Amino acid sequence: MPASYAYLGPEGTFTEVALRTLPEAATRKLVPYVSVQSALDAVRAGDAEAAFVPIENSVEGGITTTLDELVAGEPLMIYREVLLSITFALLVRPGTKLADVKTVSAHPAAQPQVRNWLRKHLPDAVWESAASNADAARLVQEGRYDAAFAGEFAAARYGLEALETGIHDAENAQTRFVLVGRPARPAAPSGADKTSVVLWQRDDHPGALRDLLGEFASRGINLMLLQSRPTGAGIGHYCFCIDAEGHIADRRMAEALMGLKRICLQVRFLGSYPRADITPDAARPKFPGTSDEEFMAAADWVARCQDGRF
């Protein structure tokens, strides 16, 4: 039997479409799960080799369900990311007219992406959240709701019609998906990589966040995502989910992570993996003084000073 990839299901989600863009997906059994949590738990339990889940969209930022699952529980690691352009269709049972739509459903992450369209075209419709956009389509098929925001490709799967297509409030909206597995050695640097970590402060004091960010800034590392998440310890207690340009094998990134390990209560490494938005040829040039060669030359100079050879 082929190894399996879990993904946020049911069949017909944007997650499934994005997953099928990975070449290795063709050699895996793709198994839908009802939630991000259950897909990731399948990996933790050894029931799946990896899980493919949404983690960020260009309208609302980080998807908190996924971030919180990666922050808590048995550690997992990100191996790949995929970007998918997103537009929605309003899926209904055959014969339904726009005036008939009193209830609509979709994944909570979809609501900010269609909010203005809803206000203009269905101002009185009641929004009901679903586990995924495809699950919302299934619930429409069963008669639970009148319409679902989902990919147009899901209509045939659930016996629905696309009453409206091309729905989006923001042009060029994208969702980022990640392939998550059990911790192992990261792949070698590609030349255009991203490193993800979660940081917990030792205590709350003026400049505490600046101290964390300074470990990146002083080494010329650009941040791509910074999102706070509550730790559950009470109001004002947060950890920070960060995506930064670079790979843990880079000297500047390794030194930044060592610095964070010294000053943080806890650091969770979530992986170093190739970026989906650029190729190595288009990667941002490193700031002067931040290349591996310059870090090694500086370390050699310190060693010579310690030996009296300066």
Single-letter amino acid, residue 247 = H
The shares of helix, strand and coil residues in the chain, as percent rounded to the nearest 5, are: 30, 30, 35
Beta strands per DSSP E along the chain:
4-8, 29-33, 50-57, 61-62, 77-85, 88-92, 103-106, 126-129, 147-150, 161-167, 174-181, 193-201, 223-230, 238-245, 264-274
Full pLDDT tens readout for the chain, 310 residues: 569 999 998 898 999 999 999 999 999 999 999 999 999 999 999 999 999 999 999 888 889 999 999 999 899 999 999 999 999 999 999 999 999 999 999 999 899 999 999 999 999 999 999 989 999 999 999 999 999 999 999 999 999 999 999 998 888 889 999 999 999 999 999 999 999 999 999 888 888 899 999 999 999 999 999 999 998 888 878 899 999 999 999 999 999 999 999 999 999 999 999 999 988 887 777 788 888 888 989 989 999 999 998 7
Residue 227's Cα: distance from chain center in Å? 12
Helix (H, G, I), strand (E, B) or coil at 78: strand
Angle at 237 between CA 233 and CA 241, to 5 degrees: 110
Q: pTM score, two decimals?
A: 0.87
What domains, with CATH codes, occur in the chain?
A: 1-86+173-184 (3.40.190.10), 88-167 (3.40.190.10), 185-309 (3.30.70.260)
56 - beta bridge partners?
Answer: 62, 176
Element spanning 210, H or E: helix 208-217
